[in-house]
């Protein structure tokens, strides 16, 4: 059997996954900043890592999956100066910052549940780990990689880069970074514009603040992930994940903090999920080019012709490799819905298959299963896995005509494998009833016309026509009920 290979975006190559502790896997993924609703782009990244979590479990690893909640320290424009994203929202609404964090954490959990993601093993918050962040800052000061300036502590990139390759993850050199950094007013505390904040002194107006050895302040955005991954996964751990846009500066700074404080860069493998775009442009909270999960589930959006069940969106997302850009469109979702329905129909047919035919069939289930595993072992290649699932769909359809194709035991084993791939690894659910919700609107419209024609026949006492319409609908599984307020219809017995 092939071994799991993961594309390490640090080395820019596929690496055979060799966990630090046999049988165990440690996974850290940057979670959401809880100052507004997550959009489908964020959801894509979390679904990609949910699939990674699920597949590692499928392979038998005992996984500790840590995904944080950023509820402090993330400033507007991802900068080192200015307002906290959560704090600004709290000020605007005149509520406590923790009310904002609570509201959007609850919303995030609701969305994650709707998309059937598994909860992480630990979900630590930045505000719950101020002590750990202060002590990491102290460690960095002691080790000579940080300096104090006016109550704030900055990471000394120039000093660090004399010993370690700062920019190693994102492939940037120091000069490029220097020329790409804006010198902002008030940023004069920094020795160099590419230094970044570990701890910031809180101005009078800054409401989210904690006591520290350097006075009242708050942690820099990058610090929480270094502090929390170290605390829960150790100074060295298996996999760190996040969206591509976090590579620089967030993950670059994390590596520097980890190496600076722990003499160890943290993750063995860095995984970066690619972006979801809408109309060819990155989905992003700040530009407003977004589609929200609620809009997808209700169909209430100018970008959509109808509502889609969460599993269809999930199927759509896993039909692309996590490292490819994926463009969202109504047409693409309609196509994904058809594919999803075909897959679930076939799975249903297989689960209801009568025990007919020989024991062993001609379809080589073991070979097929090995191909599925090989696809996922090749850097979680879910689109290839899905292509193999459709080979199984074809076999199931052929077996309905000729039961010697799967055979009785073949059908049983294939069903077990399909259950694992569809539901355990891809995290899909049987949402066929919801999948028809869009067609319901069309059916209602068509039935309105039919029932109106029947009413006209009845008004003219043309009983044979009205009875014929009723009987023909009944033969098609649609029951008409005549009430005092007119006729209604139901589907089924």
Kindly list the residues in this chain that would bind Zn ion in the complex (CB under 5 A).
Answer: 30, 225
Residue 275 interacts with, from Zn ion, ligand AMP, none (CB under 5-8 Å by kind):
ligand AMP
Interface positions, 45-64, toward ligand AMP (CB under 6 A)? 45
CB of 33 to ligand AMP, least distance (A): 4
By the rule CB under 6 A, 283 interacts with ligand AMP? yes
**CB nearer to ligand AMP: pick between 42 and 117:** 42
Of 244 and 432, CB closest to ligand AMP: 244
- Least distance from Zn ion to the Cβ atom of residue 242, Å: 6
Q: Which stretch binds ligand AMP (CB under 6 A): 177-185, 216-224, 242-250, 362-370?
A: 242-250
Nearest residue to 403 (alpha-carbon basis) of 367, 347, 363:
363
Give the shortest CB-242-to-ligand AMP separation in angstroms: 4
Q: How far is the CB of 246 from ligand AMP (least distance, A)?
A: 5
Residues between 357 and 416 that touch ligand AMP (CB under 6 A): none
Contact between 245 and ligand AMP per CB under 6 A:
yes
If the CB atoms of residues 55 and 221 are measured against ligand AMP, the closer one turns out to be 221
Q: Which does 225 bind (CB under 5 to 8 A by kind): ligand AMP, Zn ion, none?
A: Zn ion
User: Cα separations (Å) of 46 from 39, 326, 374?
Assistant: 11, 14, 23
42 binds ligand AMP (CB under 6 A): yes
Distance, CA of 83 to CA of 201 (rounded, Å): 12
Query: Which of ligand AMP, Zn ion, none binds 26 (CB below 5-8 Å, type-dependent)?
Result: none
Closer CB to ligand AMP, residue 245 or residue 330? 245
Torsion of CA 459, 460, 465, 470, to 10 degrees: 10
Least gap, CB of 48 to Zn ion (angstroms):
15
Residue 30 lies near ligand AMP (rule: CB under 6 A): yes
- Minimum Å gap between C-beta 246 and Zn ion is 6
Looking at beta carbons only, is 30 or 414 nearer to ligand AMP? Answer: 30
Residue 41 in the binding site for ligand AMP (CB under 6 A): yes
* 3-state DSSP of the chain: CCCCEEEECCCCEEEECCCCCCCEEEEEECCCECCCCCCHHHHHHHHHHHHHHHHHHHCCCEEEEEECEECCCCEHHHCCCCCEHHHHHHHHHCCCHHHHHHHHHHHHHHHHHHCCCCCCCECCECHHHHHHHHHHHHHHHHCCCEEEECCEEEECHHHHHCCCCCCCCCCCCHHHHHHHCCCCCCCCCCCCCCCEEEEEECCCCCCCCECCCCCCEEECCCHHHHHHHHHHHCCEEEEEEEEHHHHHHHHHHHHHHHHHHHCCCEEEEEEEECCEEECCEECECCCCECCCHHHHHHCCCCCCCCCCCHHHHHHHHHCCCCCCCEEECHHHHHHHHHHHHHHHHHHHHHHCCCCCCCCCCCCCHHHHHHHHHHHHHECCCHHHHHHHHHHHHHHHHHHHHCCCCCCHHHHHHHHHHHHHHHHHHCCCCCCHHHHCHHHHHHHHHHHHHHHHHHHHHHHCCCHHHHHHHHHHHHHCCEEEEEECCEEEEEECC
Q: Which residue, 244 or 450, is less far from Zn ion as judged by CB? A: 244
Q: From the CB of 111, what's the least distance to Zn ion, in Å? A: 19
Q: Least CB distance from residue 222 to ligand AMP, whole Å?
A: 12
**Angle subtended by helix axes 408-419 and 382-401, to nearest 10:** 150
Contact between 271 and ligand AMP by CB under 6 A: the answer reads: no
Indicate whether 107 belongs to the interface with ligand AMP (CB under 6 A).
no
Residue 388 binding: pick among Zn ion, ligand AMP, none (C-beta 5-8 Å cut-off by kind): none
Residue with smallest beta-carbon separation from ligand AMP:
243
Please identify, using beta-carbon distances, which residue of 30 and 414 lies nearer to Zn ion.
Answer: 30
Residues contacting ligand AMP: total by CB under 6 A = 16
Whose Cβ is closer to Zn ion: residue 195's or residue 254's?
A: 254
Count of alpha carbons within 13 angstroms of residue 393, beta-carbon side: 16
Nearest distance in Å: CB 225, Zn ion? 3
Check residue 229 for interaction with ligand AMP (CB under 6 A).
no
Cβ-based nearer residue to Zn ion, 257 or 431: 257
Residue 424 contact, options Zn ion, ligand AMP, none, Cβ 5-8 Å cut-off depending on partner type: none
Minimum Å gap between C-beta 5 and Zn ion is 24
Using CB under 6 A as the binding rule, whether residue 242 contacts ligand AMP is answered as yes
45 binds, among ligand AMP, Zn ion, none (CB under 5 to 8 A by kind): ligand AMP
Q: Residue 68: CA atoms inside 13 Å, Cβ hemisphere, count?
A: 30
Nearest C-alpha neighbor of 146 from the set 191, 115, 179? 191
Query: If binding is defined by CB under 6 A, does position 276 make contact with ligand AMP?
Result: yes
Residues within the interface to ligand AMP (CB under 6 A)? 30, 32-33, 41-42, 44-45, 242-243, 245-246, 275-276, 282-284
């Amino acid at each position: 059997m092939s071994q799991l290979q993961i594309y390490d975006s640090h080395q820019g190559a596929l690496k055979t996954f060799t966990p630090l502790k046999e049988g165990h896997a440690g996974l850290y993924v940057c979670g959401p900043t809880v100052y507004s609703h997550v959009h489908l782009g964020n959801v894509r990244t979390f679904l990609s890592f949910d699939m990674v979590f699920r597949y590692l479990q499928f392979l038998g690893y005992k996984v500790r999956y840590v995904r944080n909640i950023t509820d402090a320290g993330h400033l507007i424009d991802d900068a080192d100066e200015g307002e906290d994203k959560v704090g600004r929202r709290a000020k605007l609404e005149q509520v406590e910052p923790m009310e904002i964090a609570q509201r959007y954490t609850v919303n995030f959990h609701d969305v994650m549940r709707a998309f059937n993601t598994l909860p992480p093993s630990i979900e630590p918050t930045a505000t719950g780990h101020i002590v750990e962040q202060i002590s990491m800052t102290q460690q960095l000061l002691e080790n000579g990689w940080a300096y104090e300036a006016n109550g704030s502590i900055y990471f000394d990139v120039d000093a660090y880069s004399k010993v370690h390759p700062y920019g190693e993850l994102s492939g940037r050199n120091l000069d490029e970074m220097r020329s790409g950094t804006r010198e902002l007013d008030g940023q004069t505390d920094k020795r160099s514009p590419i230094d970044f904040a570990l701890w910031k002194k809180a101005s009078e107006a800054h409401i989210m603040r904690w006591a520290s050895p350097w006075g009242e302040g708050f942690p820099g955005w990058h610090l929480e992930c270094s502090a929390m991954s170290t605390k829960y996964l150790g100074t060295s751990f298996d996999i760190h994940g996040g969206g591509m846009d976090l590579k620089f500066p967030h993950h670059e700074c994390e590596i520097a903090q980890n190496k600076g404080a722990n003499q160890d860069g943290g993750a063995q493998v860095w995984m970066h999920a690619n972006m979801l775009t809408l109309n060819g442009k990155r989905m992003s909270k700040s530009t407003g080019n977004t589609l929200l999960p609620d809009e997808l589930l209700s169909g209430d959006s100018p970008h959509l012709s109808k509502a889609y069940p969460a599993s269809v969106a999930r199927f759509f997302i896993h039909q692309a490799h996590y490292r490819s850009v994926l463009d969202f469109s109504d047409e693409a979702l309609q196509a994904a819905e058809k594919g999803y329905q075909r897959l679930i129909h076939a799975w249903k047919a297989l689960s209801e298959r009568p025990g007919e035919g020989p024991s062993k069939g001609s379809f080589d289930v073991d070979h097929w299963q090995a191909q599925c595993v090989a696809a996922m072992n090749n850097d979680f290649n879910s689109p290839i896995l899905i292509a193999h699932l459709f080979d199984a769909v074809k076999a199931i359809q052929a077996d309905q005509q000729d039961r010697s194709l799967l055979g009785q035991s073949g059908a049983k084993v294939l069903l077990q494998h399909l259950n694992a791939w569809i539901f355990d690894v891809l995290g899909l659910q049987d949402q066929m009833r919801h999948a028809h919700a869009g067609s319901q609107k069309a059916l209602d419209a068509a039935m309105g016309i039919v029932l109106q024609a029947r009413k006209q026949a009845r008004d003219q006492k043309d009983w044979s026509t009205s009875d014929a319409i009723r009987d023909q609908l009944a033969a098609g599984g649609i029951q008409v009920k005549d009430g005092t307020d007119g006729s209604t219809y139901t589907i089924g017995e």
